[in-house]
């Protein structure tokens, strides 16, 4: 639940209204806001801030206009500006509440919790803020558990991919072993015998060659 707190200005006269332009723009912005024209309200509040940059009332209401449009980052900036410049305890508490809501929308649960706690320090009896604080704490726990589960799932996926890669390598090595020709003892013996016969033939051929060479040398006529 969003805390809506507006500074509705009742102008005493047309003259005083135009004498202070920022108040006039603030009033126009409020009218647009209550009419559901949040973008138009945003423009009026910004015009009021151009007239008076530290206009706390315009900062607060501009934050609400941003929030209604789903511009949560901009709303955070405005509520933060208000809590730093505002001097009304009640409205600062409401600004912290809305700041927590904006953080909640962006799933920044730690920041939301901090904002809600700041609001409760100023107004401990605010049950809406207490409820939102409990909700933000629950969402933070769910987020942390989800992150933990994602990390564990990632580790499992990495291990599975590593095991699959290892299995593929082992299967490839085994396939290569199976593709190598197998030889019986008899075939191996025949190959050895053939190698021996070839060796003996080579030695015999070499011996005959050497003898012929010797014979030719002896018979040569010097």
**For residue range 19-30, what is the model confidence (pLDDT) as tens digits?**
489 999 999 999
What's the pLDDT at 221? 37
> Does a structural domain hold residue 56?
yes
Q: 2 and 67 in contact (C-beta within 8 Å)? A: yes
CATH, residue 113: 1.25.40.10
pLDDT, tens digit, 9 for 90 and up, residues 130-149: 999 999 999 999 999 999 99
Q: Is 155 helix (H, G, I), strand (E, B) or coil?
A: helix
Is 214 part of any domain?
A: no
Q: Which domain holds residue 36?
A: 14-146
Kindly report, residue by residue over 24-77, the tens digit of the pLDDT: 999 999 999 999 999 999 999 999 999 998 888 999 999 999 999 999 999 999
Q: Cβ(48)–Cβ(22) under 8 Å?
A: yes
Residue 82 in domain: yes
HSE at residue 141, side-chain half, CA atoms within 13 A, is: 6
How many domains does the structure of the chain reveal? 1
Residue with tokens 């200005």: 9
Our CA angle for 38, 43, 44, nearest 5°, is: 95
């Amino acid at each position: 639940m969003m805390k809506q707190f507006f500074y509705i200005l009742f102008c005493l006269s047309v003259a005083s209204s135009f004498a202070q332009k920022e108040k006039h723009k603030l009033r126009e912005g409020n009218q647009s806001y209550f009419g559901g024209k949040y973008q138009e309200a945003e423009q009026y509040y910004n015009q009021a801030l151009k007239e008076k940059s530290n206009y706390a009332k315009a900062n607060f209401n501009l934050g609400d206009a941003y929030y209604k449009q789903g511009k949560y980052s901009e709303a955070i900036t405005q509520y933060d500006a208000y809590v730093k410049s505002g001097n009304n305890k009640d409205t600062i508490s409401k600004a912290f509440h809305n700041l927590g809501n904006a953080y909640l929308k962006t799933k920044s649960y730690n920041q939301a919790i901090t904002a809600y706690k700041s609001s409760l320090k100023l107004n401990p009896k605010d049950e809406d803020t207490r409820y939102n604080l409990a909700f933000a704490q629950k969402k933070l726990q769910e987020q942390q558990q989800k992150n933990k589960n994602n990390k564990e799932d990632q580790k499992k996926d990495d291990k599975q991919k590593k095991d699959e890669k290892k299995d593929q390598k082992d299967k490839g090595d085994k396939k290569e072993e199976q593709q190598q020709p197998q030889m019986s003892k008899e075939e191996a013996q025949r190959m050895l015998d053939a190698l021996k016969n070839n060796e003996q033939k080579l030695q015999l051929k070499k011996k005959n060659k050497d003898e012929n060479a010797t014979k030719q040398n002896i018979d040569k006529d010097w």
